[in-house]
Amino acid sequence: MTLSLQFYSLLLMVLSGILIGAIIEGARFVMNSFPKRTFVFKYSAALEIVVWIILGLGTFYILFNVRDGIWRIYDPLAQIVGILLYEQLFQPIFRLAGRIFLRIVIQPIWFLIRIFITIINKIFRLIGFILVTIVRPFHFIYKKIWHLALKKKPNFRYNKKYTKN
């Protein structure tokens, strides 16, 4: 293994540590932004463990592509250095980028989804109002007829008043 390849893999491990720090912080932010009764908030520790496992698999994938999966002792140290670099230097930059991404991408999409749901809801309410308006007179007639159908009717055959002696 050449010195340049070792430097390249060390640099990749530091960059992956920076990315791991950003992903973990983003995952914690997203999981803590859910209401307390949701599945995501209740099982946030388990979900964070799943995120860590996925990040570990991603690290192994990087090592597999660069050095055919050979693991050196300085790889986790380089990742820890990357995480510490993220905490000290890159955290404000990533947070600013996250806020910009939230404002420019996520909030407009969420706004459009809410408008779409509101429009569909209003259309269903309008259709329901039209149906109720059309059915209301027939409902009134039906209640009157049903009320008459339940009344006791006189039986003319056996009534003494209407029979011949």
139: tokens are 């409902």
157: Cβ–Cβ under 8 A, 6 or more apart, which residues? Answer: 163
Residue boundaries of the structural domains of the chain:
3-150
What pLDDT is attached to residue 155? 61
What DSSP string describes 32-76? Answer: HTS-TTSHHHHTHHHHHHHHHHHHHHHHHHHHHHHHTT---THHH
The span from the CA of 112 to the CA of 108, in Å, is 6
User: Does residue 150 have a pLDDT over 80?
Assistant: no
Fill in the DSSP letter of residue 158. Answer: S
CB 41 within 8 A of CB 32: yes
**Mapping DSSP to helix (H, G, I), strand (E, B) and coil, where does residue 2 land?**
coil
8: Cβ–Cβ under 8 A, 6 or more apart, which residues? Answer: 66
Q: How confident is the model at residue 154 (pLDDT cuts 50, 70, 90)?
A: low
124: Cβ–Cβ under 8 A, 6 or more apart, which residues? Answer: none
Short-list 73, 46, 75, CA closest to 60: 75
What pLDDT is attached to residue 23? 92
Percent of the chain with pLDDT strictly greater than 90: 42
CB 82 within 8 A of CB 18: yes
19: tokens are 């990315």
pTM equals 0.64
User: Does residue 17 have a pLDDT over 90?
Assistant: yes
pLDDT tens figures, 69-109: 777 888 889 999 999 999 999 999 988 988 898 889 888 99
